[in-house]
Each structure stands twice: as structure tokens, then as C-alpha cells.
Structure 1
């Protein structure tokens, strides 16, 4: 099944509040479907109130990209996700994963238990179960999972609506296509692609600060798109046709520049 394109923007608060609110309005006016927040306490206010603020300001969908499951109890994440669904009139999407590189050090710094990957996956399963119980028959909160290995993929096929793969920026198109093909053999879900680099611009917080766009181009990485709108449109269509990606997530610094791309492809 060919899913329609949609586009999300990772937009943490990196400026004063009025400037960020103006940016949120412009993102909404550019045709993006979803405003997304990372789950890193050092960068910004907590995702929940930030997303509720954005949803009250615009008609955008909002979501986490992505909650790290070890940072809070499963019931707390589920309660917050359900609450955001209620407060946004069903426009919240729960993005969740087992944590980014260096997660163990962060857990130690916060005095939290360092649990192995299998327990982190179990926490995700518990979170989604609790969320479904809270939502009940009247509400459904979509779930996006960041996955890599076969166990995470199997859980996503069971509980998620959208899947994004936890990739290193320099992984090649061939490697990512293999991951997507393997996943499609067990689950027919929306596939999302995290694209941190547009042309020579690396989105803050979406890729390591030492990311080299030239290296990504040489590796035929899917972490980069050309900054020319016509070339980007062609490449995005290719990625859906050949691999199955239909949901593309960019950084806020490139959102306005890519507005012509979104205008051409969103919903098609």
C-alpha cells in the first residue's frame, strides 16, 4: 500500500518564547502535519507542556520525537500521552524508543536505574498497554516507535502505528533499504525517515554536531536531502517508491526553506 506523504518538524525551543511561537505559526502555515519535540531535559522545557502550547496555537498535530522509555515510569508516560491526546482534541502522537546513545550515563546522572535494552523494550510495551487502557474506546493515541533490532521491530509490529529506524547518519541507502524490507515482512506500518541534513545545513539536536554533509553524500546516506526543492521532491518520491518511507521529519531551521516541497507533496 502506498501511503500519502506527510511531513514533521523537530522544533525545540532554542530562542526566546515569542520567537519560537512565531516559528510554530510559520510551520503550521507551510503545510507541515506535525510539530515534534525531543526528550532531552538539558535542551528545553518538558515536551508535554511545550506541545500543549503549540497545539493551542495552531491546528498542527504534535508529538514526541521521541520519549526515552527509561527516563520515567511506564504509567507516567502513558498518563502524559493520554492527557495530551485529550488536551489537543486527538492531535497528539506518542513517539517512544529505548533511548539515545549515551543514555546509560544520563540515567546514572539522574540517579535512575540503568536497565538493559530488553527491559527498556518491556517498558515500551507496558507504556502502550497502559495508554490503551487510559484511552478506552473513545480515544486512540497513535504510537510511533524508534526501532533497530529484531525484538524492537517485533514489538513495533504489534503495538505501533509508525516506525522510524534508529540509524547512524552515515549508513548507506542499501543498509536502510534492507532494514525497511525486513520490517515490512512482519509489519505494514507507516515508515518515517528522520532527515537531519538539508544541503549543507545540519539540524541541531537531530545529528551529532560533527556530522559532515560531504561524507553523507559520499555514503549515499538517507540522512541528507538536496536543498534544491525540485531535486528534493524527486528524491523523496524515490524513497517512498523504492523503500516505503512516506513520513519525513526535518529540523526547524530548514522548515521554511522546504515549504515548496511540502506544498507539492503533502497528502499525495
Structure 2
């Protein structure tokens, strides 16, 4: 990723019905997004099933988890299912992983699986990656082509792990973080990686434009600064220039956005994707 060309992903969690879900995936593809992504919570669609459905409705867009909570599934089970989704999507699958957000503990309780301590979850994450990379391809006894691996990371230890094991690192920052808050995570990634130039660095947008739905405004709270890493405002050219400056300063080239803002960000995608 030495050239750090821009990629853009749409994060979608649910839909009114299967037809609308397929339509969301097709719309993201038509708008020029590189990936169609889905989270992993018990209040949203089961991610690997949802992405299999999206694969059948699309032809070129990448499909990824954003991100799977590793405590939910045995590594071997997950590797098997990942191989299947990668096959069904024609190799378009990208595996996003995380050690488990804080509220994943409640989901683990509902699933009847242990959440585990931080060390245990890091070991589970490492084992998932190992199993995925050695699992046989569908219909073969030999390992299949491994999907790209994205790891969501925030603290120093997780950033170090991601730098050594991921293709893409999604830097998980609070919406109240100003733009220069990327400096320290990127410094830690550079220190931990043997080949920093190969790493793709991802940041997420919570809001695009000036209009924010009331429920989202309540979720974000009143303390989001104008230069928040998660907010992008202005004309398409102004927004594109801000992302260009962010890439120049912090090497962040993979930008994800909530599906509700996919159309609003589309002119920026047209200006920057693949450049």
C-alpha cells in the first residue's frame, strides 16, 4: 500500500427486508465504493449470512465484516465460514476482526460463550488469523487464497498487534477526537510494523454534511469538535481536500461511512477513489 490509494467503504447494519438489503449493496457498488461492510452485534443482521446475500446481489464490490468480535465463535468454525463466504463472493471477501468492544460482553452472555480477559481475546484473535490463513479452500485440501485482514485497534498493545498481523488497521477513535489525534496511533503503528508502507490505515466517518439526524446527534453528544476525525463537512471539493490532507499527514487512505451518508459522500468518492 505504498501509494496509499483511496478506498471507500459503506457500513450497513440492517434493512426492512431482504430486497432492501440487496439494494443497499447494489447502491454502494453503483456509487463506486470499494467495500460493503457490516458489523457484528446481536441487534443487527448476522454478518456472514448478510454478506453472502450481498454477494449474490453484486458483482464487483468487496464485502467485509466491520468487525467480527472474536469471542463469539470458535476459530475453526469462523475459518470454515470465512472460506465459504470468500468462495460464494468470488474472492471479494475482506475479514475485519476485533477483540470485542466493551458491550460485546453482554452479547457473549446471550450466546452462552465466555467473553474472556484481554489477554485471552488477543490470543483468540491470533488463532483466528492463523486458522483463516491455513483453512482449505472450498472443494480442496490445500489452503485457499486468504482474504485481506482488517483489525480494529485503539490502544498501544492492540495497535502493535494489528501492525504486525493485519493488512488494514482501522484506527478506532472516539468521535470527539480532533484530526491531530491520529498522530499518536500512526506513530505506534510505524514503530511496531516491520513494513509500515504495506499497511493500509482506515478511519471512519460518523457524519457527512451539516444535517445530523436527531438520534445521531444525541449519540454523539455536544462535545464533537469542528475538526473531529469523524465529521466531514463542506463542498465535495472541500471534503476531498480535507481527506487528502489527512492522507498526507497521517497516511489514512481507507475511509468508511455509515450507509445513511453513502449518497452524500458519493461526490467525494468520485473525486478520490483509486487516486
Whether the TM-score (by the shorter chain) exceeds 0.5 is yes
Determine which of 239, 246, 253 is the counterpart of 2:253.
246
Name the SS of the counterpart of 1:143 in structure 2: strand
Determine which of 145, 159, 163 is the counterpart of 2:165.
159
Distance in 1 separating the partners of 2:219 and 2:89: 37
Cα 1:171–1:50 change in 2 (3 A) is same
Name the SS of the counterpart of 1:215 in structure 2: coil
Determine which of 221, 229, 246 is the counterpart of 1:222.
229
Tell me which stretches of 4 or more aligned residues in structure 1 moved more than 6 Å. Answer: none
Cα 1:85–1:202 change in 2 (3 A) is farther
Please tell me whether residue 51 in structure 1 is matched to residue 51 in structure 2: yes
Name the SS of the counterpart of 2:264 in structure 1: coil
Q: How does 1:81-230 map to 2 (within 5 A)?
A: 81-135=82-136, 136=142, 138-187=144-193, 188=196, 189-201=199-211, 210-212=219-221, 215-218=223-226, 220-226=227-233, 228-230=235-237
Contact 2:164 2:192 in 1 (8 A): no
TM-score normalised by the chain length of structure 1: 0.91
Cα 1:201–1:95 change in 2 (3 A) is farther
Deviation for aligned residue 1:197: 1.4
TM-score normalised by the chain length of structure 2: 0.89
Name the SS of the counterpart of 1:247 in structure 2: strand
Contact 1:198 1:226 in 2 (8 A): yes
**CA deviation string 1:9-29 (max 9, x = no partner):** 001223222223222222111
Cα 1:202–1:85 change in 2 (3 A) is farther
**Corresponding residue pairs, total:** 264
Please tell me whether residue 29 in structure 1 is matched to residue 30 in structure 2: yes
RMSD: 2.1
Distance in 1 separating the partners of 2:154 and 2:13: 24
In structure 2, the gaps of 5 or more residues are 137-141
